[in-house]
């Protein structure tokens, strides 16, 4: 059964791709924010200067960055749901009337 390859419906809506990127950044930022204090602690093997600088930056800016990323995730998620019918070609009009 060698037919045409179907277009991936998830990638038809660009807001889903933006949501995927924003969610991935949120998870990476959250994990970095959780690990940052361990890079700043004194221990037998010292962290590099770049690691300490990134940890200090995340310590200062982490909550703001996570809040912004959450806002972007929320906005793109709502936009993806609102525009799903339009991007899928199902139309977004009112349902047909029955007389």
In order along the chain (99 residues), what is the average pLDDT of each group of 10 residues? 58 87 95 84 72 87 93 95 82 56
Question: Cα separation of 95 and 85, whole Å?
Answer: 13
CB atoms within 10 A of CB 35: 13
Q: Which two tokens stand for residue 50?
A: 């770049």
pLDDT at 19: 93
* Residue of 12, 9, 13 whose CA lies nearest to 79: 13
What pTM value is reported for the model? 0.70
Taking the CA of residue 24 as centre, how many other CA atoms within 13 Å lie in the half-sphere pointing to its CB? 6
């Amino acid at each position: 059964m060698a037919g045409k390859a179907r277009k991936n419906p998830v990638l038809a809506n660009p807001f889903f791709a933006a949501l995927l990127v924003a969610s991935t950044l949120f998870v990476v930022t959250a994990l970095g924010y959780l690990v940052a204090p361990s890079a700043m602690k004194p221990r037998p093997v010292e962290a590099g200067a770049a690691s300490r600088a990134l940890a200090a930056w995340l310590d200062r800016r982490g909550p703001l960055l996570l809040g912004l990323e959450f806002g972007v995730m929320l906005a793109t998620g709502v936009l993806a749901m609102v525009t799903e019918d339009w991007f899928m070609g199902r139309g977004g009009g009112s349902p047909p009337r029955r007389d």
